[in-house]
A and B are shown apart, each in its own frame.
Chain A
Amino acid sequence: MEFQNVIYGTKIEKKFKGFCLDIEELRIPKGFATALIGENGAGKTTLLNILSGIRLNYHGKIQYFDEQVENVEKVKDRLGYTSPGSFFLPQWTIPQIGKISSLLFDNFDRDKYQELCRDLAISTKGIKKTVNSLSDGNRMKLTLATVFARDTECLLMDEPASPLDPLMRDKLCGMIREYIEEGNGANSALFSTHNITDMENVIDYAIIMEHGKIAEQGFVEDLKEKYILVKGNTEDVAAAKQHMYSFSESSYGFEGICLAKDLDKLAGLDISREVPSLFQISVAVMKMSSVLR
């Protein structure tokens, strides 16, 4: 499938003690919602910090938007970054954050910010609450309010769903969809997530990371054609196992992911074929990357 890149990176490298981020080629498609999937420590936060200009010491080349701007400082205004960790000073109040945001970003809309704070029900007891008195969930909602109150072209969100309750997660998915729709192809979103299932309905493109490298990536619909969920009987285990990508056995039979191109090798066996969920694909890919490493 042909697509333009909103972010294109090559040879992105960052070494830490005991961990190394090493990405040959990074393509984030424009106009879609991309998910960074991986275990803790796979490198998702590091990558997002590099892309958003938070972390400046790394190797590699990154280009933003059509004009292929390379200096992230020039485009920070068009990027919307959120993080569930350190973000605001603890003593800031909600209205104060509104003032600071106007100083930091030209495209910050104060009215929209206040409207979002009300919509998301960030604080119920008056508006003078400070950041450190908010719960994790409310703090994340506040972060989201500041980023959605701006006119951006690419969201870079680090675990936006983690601190949120299910109702709010659903609302977040709706907000992302609306953001993508408003841009009509110009707006893109990149977010890392552990809750694949919760976000699955909004993910267009998935990048599965393992130990600092990209293990698999692609449009969700393409991945669902590449990987097939296969279930079969115990007596066929020996025959099936060698052709399967991932495999697990139980007293009721076996189940696993088979690559579509290998499916004919299972012909003749009594198997059922299903379209796997993104969650199942991700788990299989992550497992296989760990094994092969």
Chain B
Amino acid sequence: MRILQNSGVPIYQQIYEQLKSDILAGKMRQGEYLPSIRSLAKDLKISVITTMKAYEQLEKEGLVTAVQGKGFYVNAQDSEMLREQHLRKVEDCLSEAIAAARVAGMTEEELIVTLETLIQVMPEE
């Protein structure tokens, strides 16, 4: 994990995002405990409250569960839930695009053509 002190992105946000991508990518297994908030704070040389906030955010999104006295463990990230999350993201992004298109005065056809072009142009990962 790498934290940038002066990047303008709050530190807890950086921790949250890096852990989230690790979890979703499957680098951390279900049931595995995250490092304790205090030992993570010690290793990264930051305050405990910062790691705590990052973990709480992960918990809010259902990625981890808190256990009193033991810490936070990774929740089962089944493919159904993952897919659902990604589907939601697609919907959000498309809604944004539609709103922007309306402001720009694009027609529905122009929008669909743009989408198809981009699909062809973007490389598969």
A and B touch in the complex (CB under 8 A): yes
Q: Are B45 and A221 in contact (CB under 8 A)?
A: no
- Please give me the residue from chain A that is nearest to B38 by CB atom: A181
Count of chain A residues with Cβ under 8 Å from any Cβ of B?
Answer: 22
Q: Are A32 and B10 in contact (CB under 8 A)?
A: no
- Please give me the residue from chain A that is nearest to B44 by CB atom: A201
B residues 34-64 near A (Cβ < 8 Å) are 36, 38-39, 41-42, 45-50, 53
- Chain B residues near A181 (CB-CB < 8 A): 36, 38-39, 41-42
Best-buried of A220, A221, A224, A275 by chain B (most CB within 10 Å): A221
Q: Are A177 and B50 in contact (CB under 8 A)?
A: no
B residues 1-34 near A (Cβ < 8 Å) are 8, 10, 12
State which of A32, A173, A177, A274 has its C-beta within 8 Å of the C-beta of B49. A32
A185 CB to closest chain B CB (Å) equals 7
- Chain A residues near B36 (CB-CB < 8 A): 181, 184
| Bound Cα distance A177, B46 (Å) | 8
B residues 47-91 near A (Cβ < 8 Å) are 47-50, 53
Whether a CB of chain B sits under 8 angstroms from the CB of A115 is no
State which of A177, A184, A203, A274 has its C-beta within 8 Å of the C-beta of B45. A177
State which of B8, B10, B41, B53 has its C-beta within 8 Å of the C-beta of A177. B41
Counted as pairs of residues, one from A and one from B, with CB atoms less than 8 Å apart, the total is 47
- Chain A residues near B48 (CB-CB < 8 A): 31-33, 180, 204
| Bound Cα distance A65, B45 (Å) | 27
Q: Are B38 and A184 in contact (CB under 8 A)?
A: yes
What bracket does the count of chain B residues touching chain A fall in?
10 to 19
B70 CB to closest chain A CB (Å) equals 11
Q: A32-B48, A203-B47, A219-B49 are in contact. Are A177 and B42 (CB under 8 A)?
A: yes
Q: Are B49 and A220 in contact (CB under 8 A)?
A: yes
- Chain B residues near A180 (CB-CB < 8 A): 38, 41-42, 48
Q: Are B45 and A224 in contact (CB under 8 A)?
A: no
Which 6 pairs of residues, A with B, have the shortest CB-CB distance?
A: A204-B49, A181-B38, A177-B42, A204-B47, A181-B42, A221-B53
A-B contact pairs, 23 of them (CB 8 A): A31-B48, A32-B48, A173-B45, A174-B42, A174-B45, A177-B41, A177-B42, A178-B42, A181-B42, A184-B36, A201-B45, A201-B46, A202-B47, A204-B49, A205-B49, A219-B49, A220-B49, A220-B50, A221-B12, A221-B53, A274-B8, A275-B8, A275-B10
Taking A177-B45, A275-B10 as known contacts, 4 extra A-B pairs with beta carbons closer than 8 A to each other, sorted by chain A number, are A184-B36, A201-B47, A204-B49, A224-B10
